Structure 1
Amino acid sequence: MAQLSLTPTPMIAQLPGAAIVLALDLGTTTGWAVQAADGLITSGTVSFRPSRYDGGGMRYLRFRGWLEQLARDAGPIMAIHFEEVRRHVGTDAAHVYGGLLATLTAWAETSCIAYQGVPVGTIKRHATGKGNAPKEAMMAAARARGFSPVDDNEADAIAILFWALATRGGLQ
C-alpha cells in the first residue's frame, strides 16, 4: 500500500469557489499539493516504492488508485501541473518517472482533466528567483509561504502549485 504523509496547511491562496488544482513532483516518493474548491491548500508526499513481492507494474497501479482516491476526496480536479524533468541522474529514476508520467497522462486523458508539465528551472526561478536553486532553497521557499514540507518532493509540489496559481498555468 502507498505510504502517505499529509501536511494540511490552513492557507487560502484563492477566494472560495476556486478551481481544484493538483501539483505533482513525480517519483518513487511523489510530492503533491492541491488547492481545494474552498481555497485551502494541502500538501504531502506519497511513496510508490514497491515491496519485494510486487510485480513491475504494481507501482503504477497504486499510483493510479491514489489519483482516483484523491479525485474522489478533493472533488473534480480542473488541472494538473507536474514537474517536467528532461534529465535524470540514473536510468532507474528515468524509468520510474516515465512510467508515472504515462500513468498520469493516461488517467488525466480518460478523466478529461487538463495537464501540463512545468520545466524544473521555471519552478525554481518562480519559487526562489534562481533557476538552479538547490533543494534547501526550495524547502526554505515553502517554509516562507507558511508550509512545513517533509522533504524536497513536497516543497517542489508546493512551488509548482503556487506557480500554477500565480500564472494561471503559464497564461500570464
Structure 2
Amino acid sequence: MTLDLGTQTGWALLSRDGSIASGSESFKPGRFEGGGMRYLRFKRWLTEVKQCAGGIDTVFMEEVRRHAGVDAAHAYGGFLATLTAWCEHHNIPYQGVPVGTIKKHATGKGNASKDEMIASVQFRGYAPVDDNEADALALLHWALEHGGAR
C-alpha cells in the first residue's frame, strides 16, 4: 500500500491478484469534532482497507521534509504518527520515500508540478481524481520497480 498523507490522503493498493486499486480519502475535521478525531477516522479507515484487502504486506508513504504552512506540517505529523503506530501494532513494515525521489521517478524531474505528476500516471493508464491519488500511484510504481511492493 502506498500513501500520500494529508487531510486529503491519496492511496494505492496492489492486491494479491496483481490488480491495483487507488483513490483519495478526505480526513477533513468535522465542524463539531475534536482535533484528534481525524486521526481516529484515519486509523479506522486503515483497518478497513487492511480487512478488505485480506492484509497489507508493506506500507510506503511520501516523506515530506518541507510544508507550505504550520497547519499542514502539524496535520502531516499527526497522520505520520498514526500510520507508523498502526503499522507497528499490526507488524507491517513501512518506509518513507522522499517526494523528490518519487517525482524524479515518475517524470524525470525532482521538482515536477502537480499537473506533471497527474499527467505521468495518466500516461500509465490511470485516471486519478486528484494529485494526491496521482502521487500514491506514482509511489506504488516506484516501489514495484525497486522491489519493495509485492
TM-score by length of 1: 0.85
Match of 1:30 in 2: 9
1:72 partnered with 2:48:
no
Aligned residues with identical type, % of pairs: 62
1:75 is displaced (CA, Å) by: 1.3
Of structures 1 and 2, the one scoring higher in RCO (CA 8 A, sep 6+) is: 2
1:46 partnered with 2:46:
no
* 5+ long unaligned stretches in structure 2: none
Q: Runs of at least 4 residues of structure 1 off by over 3 A?
A: none
What is the distance in 1 between the residues matched to 2:147 and 2:62? 16
1:107 partnered with 2:81:
no
Match of 1:121 in 2: 100
* 5+ long unaligned stretches in structure 1: 1-21
Match of 1:58 in 2: 37
Q: Which has the higher helix share?
A: 2
The residue type paired with residue 125 of structure 1 is K
Residues 91-128 of structure 1, C-alpha deviations (whole Å, 9 max, x = no match): 00000000000000000000000000000000000000
CA RMSD of aligned residues (A): 0.9
What is the distance in 2 between the residues matched to 1:114 and 1:51? 31
The residue type paired with residue 91 of structure 1 is V
The residue type paired with residue 106 of structure 1 is A
The residue type paired with residue 156 of structure 1 is D
TM-score by length of 2: 0.98
Q: Which has the higher strand share?
A: 1
